[in-house]
Structure 1
Amino acid sequence: MGKETDPSCCVQDFKPDRIFTVFFNYSGPLVVDILPQDTTVNAPYYVRNVLSQVKSAINEQRPEVSTSRTLPLHDNAGHHKARVTTQSLRELGIQVLPHPTYSPDLTQCDFWLFPILKDRLAGRKFDRIQDLVKAVNLELRTILEEDYEGAFRKWQIRLKRCIESHGEYFEGL
């Protein structure tokens, strides 16, 4: 897999009413979207607000490469699998890596990114969402590029282990 072409999508609930969606690649964060208060993550929101940012970020980062060379990793969230999302991805020429149904252990955010953010933000109180957003963005940007690369290497090891175990649950990574 090419270093610059494999973003990973992550969704994390940092506050009960705020959900962050993070796309990152080997070099670091591409998009951080904060769900507006009293809004639900659904396919239309995801397509309109998140995927459009991802397309723009990819085009800005690599104008010479089309999004058709982008191969994102989605988990099996409803808004990722919805018809409007898959149709939008198809129109953008983006093929999504398939994700086994019951494999949260393959989601880089679950086994790598969110534990880092939770550890770094533990015990801190944020009175304003803007302060939380700044803190999350700062922490994402202070993670070293080699650590983002390492997350993709760890993901490939986990994927291989999942294939070898025929999709069965395994421990030890």
Structure 2
Amino acid sequence: MFEPLGLKRLSDIVPADETWFPFFIIPPKRLNRMWVDGQGDRPVVLRPGFQSRKRLFTVFFNYRGRLVVDILPQDTTMTATYYVQNVLSQVKSAISEQRPKVSTSRTLLLHNNAGPHKAKATTQPLLAPPHLQSQLGTM
């Protein structure tokens, strides 16, 4: 399949990865030590389990480098609908921009088995034949 004149080329593969990035750094416990007199209040110290301010970064890349970086908005959950409407639409336009002649018809998306990636709302447009993809509104 990946022979030099085969159906697919390695340049057609677009891998993706997701990771959570916290927006703060918790200082080591030794830096939280301090002398407090009997009159003063103790300062509030973040505990290592405190992680309310973090964001999900989804990164797609290809043989040329970074293709799309999507940052999940605050107080939003990654769902199949968000993934298809926001993330995959960016990927489709970026691929079409980079490779206008080939577009997305030969592209192989490589992502993990997370719920939004394998949901029917995601896989249905991806598996549809190219002439039906425009009717489905996404890749």
TM-score tier after normalising by the smaller chain length: 0.5 to 0.7
Shift in CA distance, 21/82, structure 1 to aligned 2, threshold 3 Å: same
> RCO greater where, 1 or 2, for CA within 8 Å and sep 6 or more?
2
Aligned to 1:76: 113
Amino acid at match of 2:107: T
Q: CA deviation at 1:91?
A: 3.5
| 1-structure distance, mates of 2:86, 2:96 | 16
1:47 aligns with 2:54: no
Alignment equivalent of 1:31, drawn from 68, 75, 82: 68
What amino acid is aligned across from residue 6 of structure 1 in structure 2?
I
Q: Give 1:28 deviation, angstroms.
A: 0.2
The match for 1:57 is 94
Q: Higher helix fraction: Structure 1 or Structure 2?
A: 1
Instruction: Structure 1: state its 5+ residue gaps.
Output: 94-173
* Separation in 2, partners of 1:60, 1:91: 21
**Runs of 4 or more above 6 Å deviation:** none
Number of residue pairs the alignment of both structures matches: 93
Identity over aligned pairs, percent: 62
Query: 5+ unaligned residues in a row in structure 2: which ranges?
Result: 3-8, 23-52, 131-139
The structure number with the bigger radius of gyration is 2
What do residues 16-57 of structure 1 show as CA deviations (whole Å, max 9, x unaligned)?
A: 530000000111011000000000111000000000000000
Measured on the aligned residues, the alpha-carbon RMSD in Å equals 1.4
